[in-house]
Structure 1
Amino acid sequence: MEAECKALTCEIKRLFKNNEYIFRVRGVNKYGSGVVVQSTPIFARNSFTVPSPPGAPEILAVGKDFATIEWLKPESDGGSEVTNYLIEFRERKSVRWIKVNRDSVLKDTSFKVTGLHEGNIYQFRITAMNAAGDSEPSEVSMYAVCRVPTGTPDPPSIPRVTDTHKDNISLAWTRPVEDGGADVIGYVLEMQEAGAEEWTKAHEKNLRVTEHTVTGLSAGKNTVSELQRSM
């Protein structure tokens, strides 16, 4: 840095990351230097941090040699915009994660992973990146089996009530007996007020498990639930 600075600010470069520094400054006029004042210790580091992990990938579609996945953005970007998502996959019997988009930038929160092998079983995870570095990897996805679908799955069982309160109902069901040649990767739960014609979705993302609690219901009103499966 320069020995003298005529402004009230100064940018100091070539510091070592995470090292602790103390700075001091004094005023100078034609009669000489004034009294020195000293800063408190300061660490040389970014004012932002790495993002929190993205949401676990959901399997939207699976084919003979591909899988389409989708995930939620990190709850926190660490104070710096997320500039890339890294997708990794591994086979079921392997501990080795393989990078999908090592040399390309991905800002969308969905992606079609190609080049997979028919009959193999895969899991996926996502890492978010910003100017501070990489987040921890997301939770892993459900397993996806690469194979040619032969048809739609059978219906799940009729939802049964496992618990109820004045404004919410907990439901559970069992998986379809036949999956139609492709993994059942999610469920859609819809509800209808008794006497109404319109069905409404009871959640945002496809459900990954065979149970769900529907909240925000009106006390004293009857509802009917319908369950669909997602391939």
Structure 2
Amino acid sequence: DCAFTIVTPPVGLKATSFTITDLKENQEYKIRIYAMNSEGLGEPALVPGTPKAEERLLPPEIELDAELRKVVTIRDLKVDVPFVGRPKPAVFWHKDNVALKQTTRVNAESSENITVLTIKEACKEDVGAYLVKLTNSAGEATETLNIVVLDKPGPPTGPVKVDEVTADSITISWEPPKYDGGSSINNYIVEKRDTSTTTWQIVSATVARTTIKACRLKTGCEYQFRITAENRYGKSTYLTSEPIVAQYPFKVPDTIVVHAGESFKLEADVHGKPIPSIQWLKGDRELTNTARMEIKSTDFCRKYHSVMESSSVHGRLPNHQLCCS
């Protein structure tokens, strides 16, 4: 017969269950149970088989507070993720589906029942979905933390588009920043620079939309624009345009050659509201109707014609100008 050791209190138990402690791991045991009353002990009942003392397997379980599933930070970040599991789970961290690269600034450490993610001096590169994965022989568990870093925004998205150019104005547009710093964009700041200088001047510091018309420009001057996005945490870096010349939105016509003795006609479409007054000039001299030249306009399309008889033409046609006011 094998030797048995009493493991319950000497006075016995009233309960019908009992946990035996201080056993040797992986050791098999025989267990028998007696019922006892005032008359003494009854016959023992033997527990079937030979139970082995071994660690109970428990799949990993992450005990993360629901409020921590979205983490917002301005500077340093520390997130504690408690967990349970037997045997102790292996812990893996990922950022945006890629294994987290640990540095002196970004670090993840784990102990028996907690893993801690630490990010020092958080910046926009740290924004993203962080996944913690626990695995052991009994199973696995995952949890995702969405981290938002509150910061100044990234630059507006380019390139800068040129929507309209006139002799004294340029209309440009752009796209919002790809990264808003975790806060809505309050406004844009637009500056201009005559490319012959290094001085920037503010066009507007309170642009609500992603377009602006810069007025009062000098005809023929070349300008560059730069745009800054601003939120409650600061200003972005600049988005700078290519150089743009403020000029009339039409081409200077080619030189017209007329043979001596021929008549010719010049046409120009003129638009304006109210209807502009028109002047035709030859050099600095205003042209008027004569027996050989007629200037007229149509009622609807507002085309103005100049007709000159051949007797005044000698080879190349002199320069003519159309002035509107």
* TM-score range for the pair, normalised by the shorter chain length: 0.3 to 0.5
Which one has a larger percent strand, Structure 1 or Structure 2?
Answer: 2
Structure number with greater CO (CA < 8 Å, separation at least 6) is: 1
Point out the structure with max Rg over C-alpha: 2
TM-score with structure 1 length normalisation?
0.44
